[in-house]
């Protein structure tokens, strides 16, 4: 089961900061979204599923989507790029830069402005422009607790990404990832 931690400021009626799950950063309910999932594989294998292009293309994106032109340079300053094709044929670019790499425990990526180019989306095909996405890989027995913490540059950017399917897309992607890891 995928868990999403996000409290709408409209529902809470106030700005709120909480401790982000499994992170030393505080959680800002206006700009942050956290998705967690326990996956049926050890952290080293889940890490490979996130860092090897041939594996990423098998699961990235919501159900019915496909990935092409995947390029991943797993190093600080390295690129993460792919093209996500929706079932209707629309192609959405995804582009980012690795800010931190701690194998096999933690990846931090920052979405780049390239994702707002023609055909781009506020959700950045999984890596929103200007957002910092932290991915944590934690052992849970012989499984992995995967935590994806997205910090958007503003509340408006978070709302735009959610309107583009970001909040619904990651649980679907994690379903696909779990399926790939189980094979």
12, pLDDT greater than 60: no
Which residue segments constitute the domains of the chain, with CATH numbers given? 2-182 (3.30.530.20)
Given this model, what pLDDT does residue 58 score? 97
Sheet of 66-72: strand order equals 2-5, 32-39, 143-151, 132-140, 106-111, 91-102, 79-85, 66-72
Residue that wins the pLDDT comparison between 102 and 123: 102
- Tell me the mean pLDDT in the region 151-155: 97
Question: How does DSSP classify residue 155?
Answer: H
Beta-carbon count within 10 A of 125 CB: 29
Burial of 47 (0-12, 13-18, 19+ CB in 10 A): buried
Q: What pTM value is reported for the model?
A: 0.86
Taking a C-beta distance cutoff of 8 angstroms, is the pair 37, 178 a contact? Answer: yes
Lowest mean pLDDT across 17-26, 99-108, 169-178: 17-26
pLDDT digits (tens, 9 = 90+) for 41-85: 999 999 999 999 999 999 999 999 999 999 999 999 999 999 999
Given this model, what pLDDT does residue 10 score? 37
């Amino acid at each position: 089961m995928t868990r999403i931690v996000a409290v709408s400021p409209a529902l809470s009626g106030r700005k709120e900061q909480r401790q982000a799950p499994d992170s030393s950063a505080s959680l800002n309910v206006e700009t942050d979204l956290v998705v967690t999932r326990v996956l049926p594989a050890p952290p080293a294998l889940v890490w490979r599923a996130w860092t090897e292009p041939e594996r990423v293309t098998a699961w990235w994106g919501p159900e019915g989507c496909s990935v092409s032109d995947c390029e991943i340079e797993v190093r600080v300053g390295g690129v993460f790029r792919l093209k996500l094709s929706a079932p209707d044929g629309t192609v959405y670019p995804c582009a980012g830069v690795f800010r931190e790499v701690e194998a096999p425990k933690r990846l931090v990526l920052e979405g780049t402005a390239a994702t707002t180019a023609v055909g781009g989306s506020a959700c950045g095909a999984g890596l929103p422009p200007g957002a910092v996405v932290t991915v944590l890989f934690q052992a849970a027995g012989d499984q992995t607790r995967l935590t994806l913490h997205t910090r958007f540059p503003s509340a408006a950017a978070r709302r735009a990404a959610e309107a583009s399917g970001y909040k619904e897309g990651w649980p679907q992607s994690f379903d696909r990832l779990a399926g790939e890891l189980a094979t």
